[in-house]
């Protein structure tokens, strides 16, 4: 089974519900960059909410979600789009914390409880839309609910769960995001709040064997209908040409020095771990373009 996201309308079209499972993508990234367990859980939660935000966009739009906490994982960054393509980066995937009493993964200590989250939407306009709020919890779901309520002024609830085994592989992973539409009545709000309050955490819902459709029905009422099903996939937009442009932008002096000292260059994409190799003759070609540019 591969990762999927569903979008639903419920409460007579007054509430939008997004539910996703993201286990395969999280494991692919975890394997590529050798994530430790609590770092995998932290990145996985950000990736899941990022994928859901990406699915709210249209056409060629895209989103970058950044969590910059004061914990050892450092910056966590996720790129997503409405085609369901997602990738993630963590500054330090090799950190791990667990609660000494419960032995549960400690995401808050991995991410930190101070810092900022930002949502940068490229809506193909002149300027991107950027929303930033302080981190209020470090558990990610609460932080993004706060972001939607404060920055986008959309009353929202977010739940995220990544269950990781001892070999640092996700066994279950996913999340939901619930947003009130402007026509939601007080009665609907009360009913929905009550339902969400009664729901077990996301990781429990998944480990109990619930599908994303079943989870949507648990959140919604009898009018719940799926309006879109979106397959999610790990996709990195890096390429050798992009890295070549990166080297070019260093300027002739620096490229010359690189050739003299190392005779070659190896660049690694921090999103997918792919390595790109530039032998001396290719660096010479880049140097030529850089020298021409300067003139
Ligand atoms: Zn890449």
Residue 114 CA to ligand 1 centre (angstroms) = 29
pLDDT (tens digit per residue) in 215-271: 999 999 999 999 999 999 999 999 999 999 999 999 999 999 999 999 999 999 999
How far is residue 214 CA from its own chain's centroid?
23
- CB 17 within 8 Å of CB 219: yes
Cα 73 from Cα 111, distance rounded (Å): 6
- SS3 label, residue 26: helix
CA of 87 to the centre of ligand 1 (A): 8
Predicted model pTM: 0.94
Mean pLDDT over 65-91 rounds to 98
Residues 6 or more apart whose CB falls under 8 angstroms from that of 151 comprise 119, 131, 132, 133
In angstroms, the Cα distances linking 255 to 102, 261, 265, 269 are 52, 10, 10, 19
C-alpha of residue 88 to centroid of ligand 1, in Å: 10
CA of 190 to the centre of ligand 1 (A): 45
State in Å: Cα 239 to ligand 1 middle: 7
Residue 292, C-beta contacts closer than 8 angstroms, at least 6 positions apart: none
pLDDT of residue 1: 53
| Domains of the chain and CATH, by start | 4-234 (3.55.30.10), 240-294 (3.90.1280.10)
Tell me what the pLDDT averaged over the chain comes to. 95
pLDDT at 243: 95
Amino acid 125: pLDDT:
94
| Mean pLDDT score, 259-286 | 95
Q: Which residues of 173-195 are buried (b: 16+ CB within 10 A; e: fewer)?
A: bbbbbbbbeeebeeebeebbeeb
- Alpha-helical segments (H) within 102-162: 107-111, 141-150
Residue 292 pLDDT class (50, 70, 90 cuts): confident
Q: Which long-range contacts (CB under 8 A, 24 or more apart) does 241-247 make?
A: 243/267, 243/269, 243/276, 243/278, 244/278, 244/282, 244/286, 247/278, 247/283, 247/286
Cα of 238 vs centre of ligand 1, distance in Å, is 4
**Taking 90 as the threshold, does the pLDDT of residue 14 lie above it?**
yes
pLDDT tens per residue across span 169-196: 999 999 999 999 999 999 999 999 999 9
Tell me how far the alpha carbon of residue 161 lies from the centroid of ligand 1, in angstroms.
25
DSSP 3-state assignment of 71? Answer: coil
Q: What's 201's DSSP letter?
A: P
pLDDT of amino acid 295: 57
- The burial of 211, by beta-carbon neighbours within 10 Å (0-12 exposed, 13-18 middle, 19 or more buried), is given as middle
Give distance in angstroms: CA of 294 to centre of ligand 1: 29
- 195 C-alpha to ligand 1 centroid (Å): 40
Over range 90-105, report the average pLDDT.
Answer: 93
% of the chain residues with pLDDT over 90: 95
Distance 241 CA to ligand 1 centre (A): 12
Q: For residue 152, give every residue at least 6 positions away whose Cβ sits within 8 Å of its Cβ, in sequence order, or none.
A: 131
Band (103; pLDDT cuts 50, 70, 90) = confident
């Amino acid at each position: 089974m591969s990762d999927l996201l569903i979008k639903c309308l419920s409460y007579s079209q007054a509430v939008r519900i997004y539910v996703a499972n993201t286990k395969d993508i999280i494991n692919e990234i975890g394997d590529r960059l050798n994530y430790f367990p609590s770092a995998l859980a932290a990145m996985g939660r950000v990736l899941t909410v990022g994928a859901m935000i990406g699915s709210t966009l249209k056409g060629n739009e895209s989103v970058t979600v950044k969590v910059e906490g004061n914990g050892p994982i450092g910056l966590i960054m996720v790129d997503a789009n409405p085609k369901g393509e997602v990738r993630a980066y963590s500054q330090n995937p090799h950190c791990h914390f667990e609660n000494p009493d419960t032995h549960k993964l400690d995401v808050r200590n991995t991410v930190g409880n101070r810092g900022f989250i930002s949502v940068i939407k490229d809506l193909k306009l002149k300027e991107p839309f950027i929303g930033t709020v302080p981190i209020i919890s470090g558990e990610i779901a609460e932080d993004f609910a706060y972001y939607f309520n404060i920055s986008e002024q959309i009353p929202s609830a977010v739940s995220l769960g990544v269950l990781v085994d001892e070999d640092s592989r996700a066994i279950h992973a996913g999340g939901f995001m619930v947003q009130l539409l402007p026509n939601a009545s007080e009665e609907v709000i009360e009913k929905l709040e009550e339902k969400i309050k009664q729901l077990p955490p996301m990781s429990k819902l998944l480990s109990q064997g619930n599908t994303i459709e079943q989870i949507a029905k648990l959140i919604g009422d009898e009018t719940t209908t799926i309006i879109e099903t979106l397959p999610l996939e790990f996709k990195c937009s890096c390429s050798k040409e992009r890295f070549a442009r990166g080297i070019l932008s260093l300027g002739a002096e620096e490229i010359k020095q690189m050739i003299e000292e190392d005779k070659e260059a190896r660049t690694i994409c921090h999103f997918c771990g792919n390595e790109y190799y530039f032998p001396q003759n290719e660096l010479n070609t880049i140097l030529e373009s850089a020298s021409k540019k300067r003139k």
